[in-house]
Structure 1
């Protein structure tokens, strides 16, 4: 949707996070022998991505390698094969998928940091259908005891591995902009309590955490910046201001350019109400507000699918954007002191949602003119879309 100034205080920004991922499959670790021989301690007052490489975990590697076998064009297949070596975050988006953590740890060498997305709040993604989760509103105790607590136990049992955690995409931003939606009203207390519980209990020496902060087209509007900073800082403080929180994650599973100028939607009639026309401006604008609110303000930015811009008709279009390409590979060389790293948060190739309008979890954004059609259910591999991401990658593989 194109956000109008008259509705800024109650934006209906749809979910842009990656939807549930495929069920757990067995994978064999490749680098177990290179694991650290002593406990890892991460200093969250520093940029840990300067000393640790984001790990190319085995589950995405497995998907990519299977996809390469299905590509008939030798040149495209060769480029696609290189995607398997790109570090990316592993989405722990269900209780079942906690089982992916142990084999991913076994695959992670001492030089790397394993990225995990913590993503299973009750009433998840209250403003969208495609990525609704398994836990219902009111099941906060289940979230704590059956989801967060087992993850904490696993991370404590593996002190020799470094972890970067991206905390609950879309949750707190939805409370800022979708407070008028009944589903978000009902989810609000669970989101706030759940995020605080996760931050408090995952505050471990070998962990660094980033709280999801949407993107410049969401919380970057003039009327949303301060409320957004206050909402995130409130959760951070409710958790006891955990020292392993480094700051925020932006553009998660998103499409926004890092530093395109003028911005992709700078010519829109309502652009004057949003100066955050790219993610660099958004981070640089949002960070001081976070700091003033008493929260760490460094960031990681998802560049996994933002290689091509000018594809969306409106800023809020989030589902399987047609013509998209893989973006800049993960790196700590961002050119901005506030941005620790460009990362790949979204598993490129996994669908954002189905284009089948008869499906239970169909979201109208997945049937828009600028969405790739046909697309399967959220989290399901879309071979044609993956091949397009490779073909359109900037920089190319």
Structure 2
């Protein structure tokens, strides 16, 4: 997975650019959300101050007047805030000290499982396999406490991108075998402890080019549903998140890889088809099946050589802005999950966290470490945005 952890310098810069803390609460009364209703028909995804600070710094670095004016508009787009380390929980506290309009819902990515991203290198986490107690007490419990302290704020949570999908397709890898118990226990714990009235949760389900294969849909749905049931079937779990930090089109037809020799084995050629097919399997398995889909960087298709190429895809562009108008009863909203401009991983082959996917011919180079800002890549996303800003 493509972590959004910024460097310490970038974090310090972002924090220094934040508005002064305010005592104003999001709403005058406690927020009550329902797992049976789409929250995005009532709430707008909040443009968090950390991404805004990154974008505003990027705007200052642009010399072309026209592009500068266009780039400034990106700061107003709602996006999810990644809590991808224990230390980054401070971002949540800082964000809640700013003025968040009552009609906005704050999106958070819960992403710090022990042995995180067992099948990748670029976004390995801080917690080692077996450190499930630290995950519970130092991470989930702290987040839950903050959410409880802010009952007047609405929250939308993406729970642990890539974790359970890895147990479906990469379980042959030793690292994923070692992480499996912690993944299941950790996600179930997160679902249980974060099951609060002012919270709606979406458990991550990869994307159509991952669990969308005919052979993966049923076991994938059963894997997620089993964890959901282990968590006590939490009422605030609305369904799944898909294409987080991904590149798949929502409704391109025929699909991007429909001409591939193995296309007959994957009917989920776009995310709309995937949410329909996987959603049906989830319903059969006994789990809520609504979805949110990341459209933050999927404005341009036909760039990847294979489905699984995930790192800094060259030629990409910003996609549809967050909205509840998706044209699908199963899809609650298009969202911006990955902060466009933050790197997926370094292209430096000598780096400790270098992942070979970041060195492929369809990956943008040069690229810095995962989570660090890439100005040239941001400008490329902006120029290639569909729809244009």
TM-score after normalising by structure 2: 0.97
Q: 5+ unaligned residues in a row in structure 1: which ranges?
A: 1-14
The structural deviation recorded for 1:104 is 1.3
| Structure 1 segment 1-397 matched on structure 2, within 5 A | 15=1, 17-23=2-8, 24-25=11-12, 26=15, 27-28=18-19, 33=24, 35-107=26-98, 108-397=100-389
Aligned counterparts of 2:61 and 2:226: Cα–Cα separation in 1: 48
Seen in structure 2, the aligned counterparts of structure 1 residues 311 and 29 have a Cα distance that, compared at 3 Å, is: farther
Distance 1:102 1:359, change over 3 A: same
**Matches of 1:44 and 1:31, distance apart in 2:** 30
Do the aligned residues in 2 keep the contact of 1:216 with 1:276 (CA within 8 Å)? yes
Question: Secondary structure in 1 aligned to 2:74?
Answer: helix
| Cα displacement (A) at 1:44 | 1.5
Q: Aligned pairs, how many?
A: 382
User: Residue 3 of structure 1 aligns with which residue?
Assistant: none
Quote the residue 1:9 is aligned against: none
Alignment check: 8 A CA contact 1:31 1:109 kept? no
| CA shift for structure 1 position 106 | 2.8
Question: How big is each residue's C-alpha offset from its partner over 1:46-96, in whole Å with a ceiling of 9 and x where there is no partner?
Answer: 001000000000000000000000001111111110000000000000000
| CA distance in 2 between partners of 1:48 and 1:306 (Å) | 23
- What's the CA shift for 1:18? 3.4
> Structure 2: how far apart are the matches of 1:144 and 1:370?
38
The structural deviation recorded for 1:370 is 0.4
Tell me: CA distance 1:31–1:290, structure 2 relative to 1, closer, same or farther (3 Å): farther
SS at match of 2:88: helix
- 8 Å contact 1:20–1:133 — kept in the other structure? no
Please give the root-mean-square deviation of Cα atoms over the aligned residues, in Å.
1.1
Question: 1:135, CA displacement in angstroms?
Answer: 0.3
Q: 1:19 deviation in Å?
A: 4.1
The answer to whether the Cα contact below 8 Å between 2:4 and 2:338 also exists between their aligned partners in 1 is: no
- Gaps (5+ residues) in structure 2? none
Question: Is residue 29–residue 58 contact of structure 1 (8 Å, CA) maintained in 2?
Answer: no
In 1: Cα distance, 2:119 partner to 2:40 partner = 32
What CA distance in whole angstroms lies between the structure 2 residues aligned with 1:110 and 1:22?
31
Cα distance in 2 for partners of 1:287, 1:216 equals 12
1:124-178 Cα offsets, whole Å, 9 max, x none, are 0000000000000010000000000000000000000000000000000000000
The C-alpha deviation readout for 1:226-284, integer Å capped at 9, x for no partner, is 00000000110010000000000000000000000000000000000000000000001
What is the distance in 2 between the residues matched to 1:134 and 1:21?
A: 14
Find the aligned partners of 2:146 and 2:44 in 1 and give their Cα distance.
Answer: 21
Distance in 2 (alpha carbons) for counterparts of 1:228 and 1:117? 21
Residues 4 and 339 of structure 2 are in contact (CA less than 8 Å); yes or no, is this contact kept in structure 1?
no
- How many Å separate the matches in 1 of 2:310 and 2:140? 28
The 1:338/1:29 distance shift into structure 2, 3 A limit, reads farther
Q: Matched residue of 2:282: which SS?
A: helix
